[in-house]
Amino acid sequence: MRALLDTHTFIWMVAQEEKLSARATEVLQDTNTTLYLSAASIWEMVIKASLGKLVLTQPLATLINTQVQINGLNVLNIQATHALGVASLPWHHRDPFDRLLISQSKVESLAIIGRDTKMDAYGISRIW
């Protein structure tokens, strides 16, 4: 399986595992799962940290690099096709970061690991 982490899933995987569902934990720990972290999620975390809405125990770059190594995460860069894909999405979801993740999920055929049920309206595979 190939799966894209929603931003909150990444944060909880790193610091608050108890917030993850049993199914999400199972998929995250499955060695046959290829996990992706979007550059959009990194961007979102940078913004939230700079606004004081996300408190981290270490610099974000260190956290990302450590998790890439520990969990074998693949960073999914934002491509033009991902950005352009947002244009064709209906407005079920207003969050620009989530809309980009949904587009990446569609373009790259990735399931999304996250609890946001609004994503289900886009016909993607969501794991929670």
Chain Cα centroid distance, residue 6: 3
Residues belonging to the chain: 128
* CATH number for the segment(s) 2-127: 3.40.50.1010
Phi/psi for 30 (5° steps) reads: -70, 120
Q: Residue 57: what pLDDT?
A: 86
Q: Residue 63: what pLDDT?
A: 94
- Residue 78 contacts residue 40 (beta carbons within 8 Å): yes
Element (H, E) at 111: strand 111-113
What whole-number distance in Å separates Cα of residue 32 and Cα of residue 8?
22
Instruction: List per-residue pLDDT tens for the chain, 128 residues long.
Output: 999 999 999 999 999 999 999 999 999 999 999 999 999 999 999 999 999 999 988 999 999 999 999 999 999 999 999 999 999 999 998 999 999 999 999 999 999 999 999 999 999 999 99
Domain regions of the chain by residue span = 2-127
